[in-house]
Structure 1
């Protein structure tokens, strides 16, 4: 067993709590965990617990060359993506650097989930319930919600109530158009799938408060409908590592629909970790080649709520 483990975050600028959980999980195993994060800017909160590596944009032609150099120079053992564009990057690095533990799904599956229209079609093929969707040039029953096909953190989402308003939207074909469920509840499910395809944990939580697409308050709950739907989705393809599944429930009739999958750790995963699904420990154990046991005895009604904490940088670096 290694005495030191170097973990590289891809776009983990604000994931301080997750880094602290990884460090704690390492301490419990007698391992010193060092956190590095690949960012465009050195002055980001993760610098308070690790080293920031200023790198290239996700679409830069020299990205993989630069990341490969980082992996060699910092002796990286584990890589974790934290933003959507970094997911496919991580899956490509998995092929380029088999010596590094990168718990993520295939590049092809990541590409499917990164495009909301394509992933919606994938859900339909798997017989997973989704809200009714519409073609931009077809008949539409308003109101609808329009989500950019490629995007994250709720950016660019529009609720459209009439044909007149719809005509004012440029390039409507670049959106996934779905029925708008006004009276609803949103749920996130934090899952971990082993490298052998075994479901290790499935923890639903209700999103109680959201700001800018980021959950601020969330409570775990053992909702059998959501758990079974999540297991059906996972079994449909070769998911690996941490994935986050988003659901919406219509309060009027109780219907539950899947919205999207992010094949990475979600921002609110701390709630599930605190409830007993210790994903940081899973990651460290698998990186050492250990087999995992499924965890189903996590605590329901574990409430996570967030507060703001500042990280200060000085011009003279002191």
Structure 2
């Protein structure tokens, strides 16, 4: 079984997780990695490594199809949420090639990437989300009516990697941050990840103060809930969790299960959930295999093994789907030498 991981970037650990899962399952196959940067560290460790166009390039999908056909790929797992809309839009074509695609369908992707409508989306699941406003005028009116108060946070509706996020403490700061977010969106791939104009792709949101959790939810290819993992965030670096502790909180596990069952997504999603001392609020939902999963993997989970089993039509093992609780974990950096001969260009990326 050949597996394609896309936008692998620095995630050498994820490549190793899948290589080890194939070995443990006694399944012959390769873990193929693909990234648009020719110096991506992960290209050094793939069984096959490819340099492909960025997801904003019109040749991106042609490169994905080329790799899938050349290597008879059975399983595709994206590691970057910016590419998910494009992969999801071509999901049926990939499935006709025999590829199990671990991404949600487009309607679900559109829903979870629109932070401005989380309260509307999640209310029916009995899950809370912060108040959000699409335009500055709406936020000013809410402030004047005492519906919300400063500080507020200004950010893209379909944001990623903490781009264009700013906390504001006055109306003037809010107006400036709003315009800055619009200009930032226009200059980044966020502008190509939605049909909305940049001016309509910014939200002003109430700030939830308190404990922060990463909540991952894994469903099978039919959208049936399989499991979830929860980690309390202890320290952040560059928009990613740098230190955490695993927790198996019953209330959060219940929220995760309700999200998984009601969204009915295929594959892996990662959410940020904040606790203000009384209630849990879903802040972000990212429709991809988040880097924070590495912590849960170290704490005993093995979702790559589950993904391989699902793709092969095998039964899941319970031990893959649970993590040890109260395990404190931290990231560390490693250095890898870059040999640019390791990455082959696809025909569309030369």
CA distance in structure 1 between the aligned counterparts of 2:99 and 2:341, rounded to whole angstroms: 35
Shift of 1:245: 1.9
Q: 1 or 2, which has the higher helix percentage?
A: 2
Q: Within 5 A, what are the aligned runs for 1:117-128?
A: 117-128=116-127
Cα deviation, 1:122-176, whole Å, max 9, x if unaligned, reads 2235442112223421223321011211221111111000112123231575322
Q: Residue 204 of structure 1 contacts residue 221 of structure 1 at CA under 8 Å; is this kept in 2?
A: yes
The residue number in structure 1 matching 2:163 is: 155
CA distance in structure 2 between the aligned counterparts of 1:270 and 1:264, rounded to whole angstroms: 14
Q: Residue 80 of structure 1 contacts residue 90 of structure 1 at CA under 8 Å; is this kept in 2?
A: no
User: Compared with structure 1, are the counterparts of its residues 293 and 52 closer, same or farther at alpha carbon in structure 2 (3 Å cutoff)?
Assistant: closer
CA distance in structure 2 between the aligned counterparts of 1:294 and 1:121, rounded to whole angstroms: 34
CA distance in structure 2 between the aligned counterparts of 1:314 and 1:70, rounded to whole angstroms: 21
User: Compared with structure 1, are the counterparts of its residues 137 and 238 closer, same or farther at alpha carbon in structure 2 (3 Å cutoff)?
Assistant: same
CA distance in structure 1 between the aligned counterparts of 2:109 and 2:119, rounded to whole angstroms: 13
Q: Within 5 A, what are the aligned runs for 1:193-232?
A: 193-232=219-258
Secondary structure of 1:20's partner? helix
Shift of 1:316: 8.2
The residue number in structure 2 matching 1:133 is: 132
Gaps of 5+ in 2: 144-148, 183-198, 343-350
Q: Which has the higher contact order (CA 8 A, sep 6+)?
A: 2
Q: Residue 186 of structure 1 contacts residue 207 of structure 1 at CA under 8 Å; is this kept in 2?
A: yes
Q: Residue 188 of structure 1 contacts residue 204 of structure 1 at CA under 8 Å; is this kept in 2?
A: yes
Shift of 1:298: 3.1
Choose the corresponding residue for 1:254, options 278, 284, 289.
Answer: 278
The two structures, once aligned, show a CA RMSD in angstroms of: 2.1
Comparing 226-235 and 120-129, the one that deviates more: 120-129
Cα deviation, 1:172-222, whole Å, max 9, x if unaligned, reads 7532211123x4221111222122433222111111111111111121101
Shift of 1:64: 2.0
Q: Within 5 A, what are the aligned runs for 1:269-288?
A: 269-288=293-312
Gaps of 5+ in 1: none
Secondary structure of 1:284's partner? helix
- Number of equivalenced pairs: 310
Shift of 1:16: 0.9
Shift of 1:25: 1.0
Shift of 1:304: 2.2
Q: In the alignment, is residue 24 of structure 1 matched against residue 20 of structure 2? A: yes
